[in-house]
């Protein structure tokens, strides 16, 4: 499902215009991102998003050296309801 399909589904289920549904989706996603940037965010029915640090790494592959700088990564721990999705 892409963003347009998500907005259309929300508009239909809430019986509102696509403009209102678009603002709603953007607000919810923005709030989840802000919460995750703060350390972690619980999304009811799905699970917990947690921002973690990943150390720098380097090595060789096919005779060429490579390196990857330290960065942050988002991990999802599925809730009981979220485990219905698999995993």
Q: CA geometry: angle at 10 spanning 21 and 24, to 5°?
A: 35
Same domain, 26 and 4: yes
> pLDDT tens for residues 51-73?
999 999 999 999 999 999 999 99
Q: What is the pLDDT of residue 17?
A: 97
Q: How many domains does the chain have?
A: 2
Same domain, 1 and 30: yes
> pLDDT tens for residues 10-30?
999 999 999 999 999 999 999
Burial class (CB in 10 A: 0-12, 13-18, 19+), 73: exposed
Q: What is the pLDDT of residue 84?
A: 81
Structural domain including 21 reads: 1-38
CB 76 within 8 Å of CB 45: no
Q: What is the pLDDT of residue 87?
A: 58
């Amino acid at each position: 499902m892409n963003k347009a399909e998500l907005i259309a589904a929300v508009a239909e289920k809430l019986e509102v215009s696509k403009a209102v549904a678009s603002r709603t989706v953007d607000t919810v996603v923005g709030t989840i991102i802000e919460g995750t940037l703060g350390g972690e965010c619980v999304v009811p029915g799905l699970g917990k998003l947690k921002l973690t640090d990943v150390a720098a790494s380097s090595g060789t592959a096919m005779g060429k050296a490579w390196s990857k700088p330290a960065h942050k990564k988002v991990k999802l721990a599925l809730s009981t309801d979220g485990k219905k999705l698999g995993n």
